[in-house]
Copies of this chain bind each other. A is one copy, B any other.
Amino acid sequence: MSDGTTLPPLSLHIPEPKARPGEAPDFGEMHLSPAGAVQRPAATAPETDLRFYPYQLIRVLDDEHQALGDWDPKLDTQTLLKGLRYMMLTRAYDERMVLVQRQGKTSFYMKSTGEEAVAVAQAMALDRGDMLFPSYRQQGLLVARDWPLLDMMCQVLNNHRDRLKGRQLPVMYSARDAGFFSISGNLGTQFPQAVGWAMASALKGDTRIAAAWVGDGTTAEGDFHHALTFASVYQAPVLLNVVNNQWAISTFQGFAGGERATFAQRALGFGIPGMRVDGNDFLAVYAVTAWAAERARRNLGPTLIELVTYRAAPHSTSDDPSAYRPQTEAAQWPLGDPIDRLMRHLVACGHWNEARHQALTRELDDYVKAQLKEAESHGTLGTSKHSPDSMFEDVFKDVPIHLQRQRREMQEG
């Protein structure tokens, strides 16, 4: 029983971002560990030695664009250039597809601008056979697995070359041959599915591991919890990635718990490693991903990775962020831009220069344009589509009688 002291009445806390439109962006409270400051533990380190990581931020690239500390993955120049190219290609693709949407050639689009390092570095740090369970903002995974842009474009345009038969909203790709799972419109559902896939791989004595992605906002769904629970209980070989890009449509990450804890901290409750990494630092993302993948491959179980980044673009083409956040916030994001940072690192190392960068930008843009031209030659939303008959396929493996009847009904008009 309370001791009778009279306390003030209760009051409810409603989270509020540091700045709203018209106010100056404020990242003052964001604690940034200096590059190179956080030690890299052995991949075989026990979880009990890792409980400090969720409170840190692993960074490799410093403000002078040098790679520091033992998290530096020491990638060869070719790999770094490849990473740069993939990130730039992803961005060029995004830019172009937004234009396509504005031209009314499709209904919708979602960019990954500012977050390209997440998908590209992670795809490169994983093996080609590993299975990816993405959200809608990891198009970079497909790009980094050299998946044809043409195929992606046809999906976005929903034309008759769209392998998904015009059924999915643009950007909800599926690419089995790229080890890229069908994207769901329902947030978070893929997280525990990835755990199930990883469990199956382990059950079968396979060597392939799984990786999955959700946004900061999506961590609030029950599926996030199911994924962590099953991954921990069965020690599934899976990387569970939280892309903390600060925003979930109009709500800042405080509404998912970010005011009180990092998302990496969630791992502590399940006795699994929780690593928090500068998501705009290609090298750091690569290194942490490789570290977690090695653990998984060694039967040391799952890792939760929080990738701290910033959603520089609107949520989607249906969104206008100027209604809920300062317009300059993206520009002032303390972790900078992932492409810019890797580019400067390469320049600093003497492997790259402004001219080559501009040339590559142009080359990629031309490439995207050429691909788009071909994609559009197969039609755009509304001008070309799969036959209405196809609507009745794939509901089940075989078209059952009642759907055959309905198909006939439709055909008869």
A→B interface (CB under 8 Å) = 1-2, 7-15, 47, 124-127, 199, 201-207, 209, 219-226, 229, 232-237, 254-257, 259-261, 265-272, 290, 293-294, 297-299, 301
Contact = CB atoms under 8 A, between A and B. Distances in A.
A199 B254 CA distance: 17
Nearest to A261: B271
B10 A47 contact: no
Contacts of A12: 199, 202-203, 234-236
Contacts of A205: 9-11
Nearest to A237: B10
A226 B234 contact: no
Nearest to A221: B222
B206 A233 contact: no
A299 B8 CA distance: 9
Given A12-B236, A222-B223, A272 B260 contact: yes
Contacts of A267: 269
B259 A207 contact: no
- Which of A204, A207, A229 counts the most chain B CB atoms within 10 A? A229
Contacts of A254: 233
Contacts of A224: 225
24 contacts: A1-B124, A1-B125, A1-B127, A2-B294, A7-B297, A7-B298, A9-B206, A10-B206, A10-B237, A11-B299, A12-B199, A15-B233, A15-B234, A219-B229, A229-B256, A232-B260, A233-B254, A257-B271, A260-B270, A261-B269, A261-B271, A265-B270, A268-B268, A268-B269
Contact of A233 (B233, B256, B272, B290): B256
B126 A13 contact: no
